[in-house]
Structures are given as C-alpha cells and as structure tokens.
Amino acid sequence: MLNHILKSRPDRAGTTIERVWTYELTSVIAFGGRRRRVYRRIVALSGARPGDRVLDIGCNGGYLARLLAAAVTPGGQVAGIDPSPPAIAYATRRAPASAAFAVGTAQDLSEPDGSFDVVTSTLAVHHIPEPDRAAAFSEMFRVTRPGGTLLIADFRPSRWHRGPHGLRHAQAIDLVPLAEAAGFRVEAHGDLPMLRYIRAVR
C-alpha cells in the first residue's frame, strides 16, 4: 500500500503524497484521535489571527490550511502549496472561500517578497530533499514580512515511531539551525504529540 500513497519525484520536488484520502485516514489513526487537537495547537502557536495572510507549505490535502482559514476570518487569506497535484486537487475541492491552493515547492516559491504575515509547514520538511532544505528555508524567509512568524512542525525522533505514511522517522530534522541560517530568530520550540515544532520571527 505504501507505494500507492507515496511517490518519489525525479524533479527534486521530494517525496509527494499521491493517495491523499488514504494518507488522511492513516494520519488520523497515527495521531490516536488527537489530530484535530494537535493541529489546533499548531494554529495557536502560529499566532494567525483575523486579517492575516498565511502561507501553508506542503499543505497536502489542506487540513491545516482549513483550520488556519477559520483563524484568519474575517479578512484574512490562506494560500497552500504542495508539489502533489492530487493533493492540491483534494484541497481545492474542500477549500473555504478564504483559502486557495496551488502546486509548488518550498524551495521555489512564486510569491513576492514579504507577502505573508505567517508561514507554516507541518510534516513537510522531511519530504524536501536534504540538499534543498536550506533553499526552502531561505524562500520561507523571503516571503515572510518583517516581523512575521514562521511555524514549522515535523516528526520527533523516535526509535519505534512510524509516520502516517508508514515510514519510520528515527532521525528527526534539526529545524533550529535551518531557520537561523535563513535569517529567522527562533523564539520558541517544543514538543507536541508525535511532533517537534519551532516558532521563529523574521
């Protein structure tokens, strides 16, 4: 089943999710019924508020983006990008009026400089090819307005943990040096169920 969910792309987009509904279901199971609570906490940590413009990188089926869209209403907007066309199609079908989705990669964002008050990315950094991660964080910095917030969450290291797409994540990515090298000031970091997060400011 794993090969039907994941697809390794030769164009350096990284590993993409192809069977989005299956991924969504396994993600709910992996979080042990706590997914909504964890993602609401991510929204709160991001500081997204009414009127903000938010970019969700590696949005997959748009679950976090939809929660963010509720947080920035009224007056705000959420943009979600993901390199998987099936994920973007899935997200677009479920998009609220204040959210829009497009195919794209973190390391080559098309948005203008300083476009967003908040940039988020959850369970996506480990899919970005390692040689491209520094460029991805530089792009996140570029599109974040001065004083804006970056909230990144990815898997915590666990010898026994298996991710929602069936892959073991024994080696967590150290997010702090990636953010700092891009120019962000890391203000907070911590753990959530399954996840480790950082919050940083441009």
Give me the sheet containing 77-82, strands edge to edge.
Answer: 99-103, 77-82, 53-57, 116-122, 144-155, 195-201, 185-192
Residue ranges per structural domain of the chain: 2-201
Stretch 144-167: mean pLDDT:
75
pLDDT in tens, 33-86: 788 899 999 999 999 999 999 999 999 999 999 999 999 999 999 999 999 999
Choose which CATH entry (2.60.120.680, 3.40.50.10440, 3.40.50.150, 3.20.20.80) describes domain 2-201: 3.40.50.150
pLDDT(189) > 90 = yes
pTM of the model: 0.84
